[in-house]
Amino acid sequence: MKKLTDSKDLWVELKPDEPGYMVLKGTYGEKIHKTFRVTRQGVRWRFQRLFNQVYVEAFLTILMIEKIFGTQLREYAVKISKQRYALRQEALQRNIEGQGDSHNSTKIETKNL
């Protein structure tokens, strides 16, 4: 999707309703199908779910926590989240590398990630 937004075939607009929401715009039908192998409706559904639900809800949760407890822990939370992201990327890479060897099955522990 980043490739399509960079090429200006796809962009995001903010609808200023109350509450606002993001809308995917552009002439992206055939390119989307070739890139993701899903229909335009599938792309719209995934966009809606990821950006208008998951992404916005994450910020909403942060705002609620910071309203109650303040912003003094934000730096720690960002640092921890970056560490966990790096650990997940390492685990995924180990899993991908381990798939080439059928005798080497790597179990990924995600409990602490």
Q: How far is residue 29's CA from residue 37's CA, in Å, rounded to a whole number?
A: 11
More confident residue, 61 or 7: 61
Q: pTM above the 0.85 mark?
A: no
The residue extents of the domains of the chain are 2-71, 72-113
Residue 28 pLDDT grade (very low, low, confident, very high; cuts 50, 70, 90): low
Residue 104 pLDDT grade (very low, low, confident, very high; cuts 50, 70, 90): very low
Mean pLDDT for 19-45 is: 80
The helix, strand and coil proportions of the chain, stated in percent and rounded to the nearest 5, come to 60, 10, 30
pLDDT at residue 14 greater than cutoff 60: yes
Residue 27's contacts (CB-CB under 8 Å, 6 or more residues apart) are 9
Residue 84 pLDDT grade (very low, low, confident, very high; cuts 50, 70, 90): very high
Q: Determine phi and psi for 24, rounding to 5 degrees.
A: -85, 130
Tokens encoding 66: 């910071």
Is residue 51 packed enough to be buried (19+ CB in 10 Å), middle (13-18) or exposed (0-12)? middle
Q: What angle do CA 3, 7, 10 make, to 5 degrees?
A: 80
More confident residue, 22 or 32: 22
